[in-house]
Structure 1
């Protein structure tokens, strides 16, 4: 915990390492997460469809960040985290002058059944 997943259009140009580092720092500061517990996976989507546009035109791109936390954070903390994620995306996603970026973020409580192991 926290479990972080970043789904994005494959043609989004951004500094993933810098984004993850800044996000992990923010999670420690805002949500009292332990640095060693922060884990982020990036998943590039082969096709992003937007409205009736031909996906090959690459006129739109999507980045959605999902953060799963153990229960107990206030709604204010979660809202602060999502606003921080959006600011970090503005910082780390490079603009190309032709693609419209649709960025979003969500913080949710992990289900009580959540378990993990390390080896």
Structure 2
């Protein structure tokens, strides 16, 4: 926990500093939700085909799904979502002629129990 998934349009691959975004998000969110830094995991999925609105080639998107263990207040989730969005915008770089929609969803990990084991 937390499990973070980031989907992004392929045309953002060169502009979006994904590693720096993940490291900044891990550091900020760790303090906000009182979770150890080593517990954060972020996966990136490049989307080669995305259709937004009328389908203009200059439209792009990035969506962050931030799943955390239940028990955080709505205010904490709101602050976490806004922090993630601010960091995302900071790490997207120059728009380069693209109209880019950046979105974040904060949710509780659902269904069953979360299990973890670290091998060393």
Give the alignment's TM-score, normalised by structure 1.
Answer: 0.90
- How do 1:1-80 residues align onto structure 2 when only pairs under 5 Å count? 1-12=1-12, 13-54=15-56, 57=57, 59-80=58-79
State how far apart, in whole Å, the 1-side matches of 2:3 and 2:98 are: 29
User: How many residues are aligned here?
Assistant: 116
Unaligned runs of 5+ in 1: none
State how far apart, in whole Å, the 1-side matches of 2:70 and 2:10 are: 32
Across the aligned residues of Structure 1 and Structure 2, the Cα RMSD in angstroms comes to: 1.3
Unaligned runs of 5+ in 2: none
Q: Give the aligned partner of residue 90 of structure 1.
A: 89
Tell me by how many angstroms 1:112 deviates.
4.6
Give the alignment's TM-score, normalised by structure 2.
Answer: 0.90
